[in-house]
Amino acid sequence: MGQIRSAVVSISNNIAEGFECATPKEFNRFLIIAKRSCGEVRSMLWLAPRLGYMSVDQAAKYRAKAELLSKRIAAFARTLGV
């Protein structure tokens, strides 16, 4: 569960760090990293029920939220026009 928490924090931190960048191209790079962290979270959420960390239903709920966040990050990155 600690690795999931770290990946979730990474999403937020990369968006925040990218926001502080001087150019849209730099910001986009951090958004891509944040989106990759979403993928990492979803991957771990497939494993979590098998490892006994949470129920299948709970993991599916969190995976759906992570997928939605990933789509929103991608849409935001497109607005940068990079």
CATH number of 31's domain: 1.20.1440.60
- Domain span at residue 30 reads 2-79
Tell me the per-residue pLDDT of 4-33, one tens digit each, with 9 for 90 and over: 999 999 999 999 999 999 999 999 999 999
Query: How many domains is the chain built from?
Result: 1
Q: Return the structure tokens found at 29.
A: 């790079």
Tell me the per-residue pLDDT of 29-78, one tens digit each, with 9 for 90 and over: 999 999 999 999 999 999 999 999 999 999 999 999 999 999 999 999 99
User: Distance between CA 63 and CA 73 in Å, rounded?
Assistant: 15
E strands within the chain? none
Q: Return the structure tokens found at 56.
A: 């299948």
User: Distance between CA 11 and CA 56 in Å, rounded?
Assistant: 23
pTM of the model: 0.90
Query: To which residue do tokens 């299948």 refer?
Result: 56
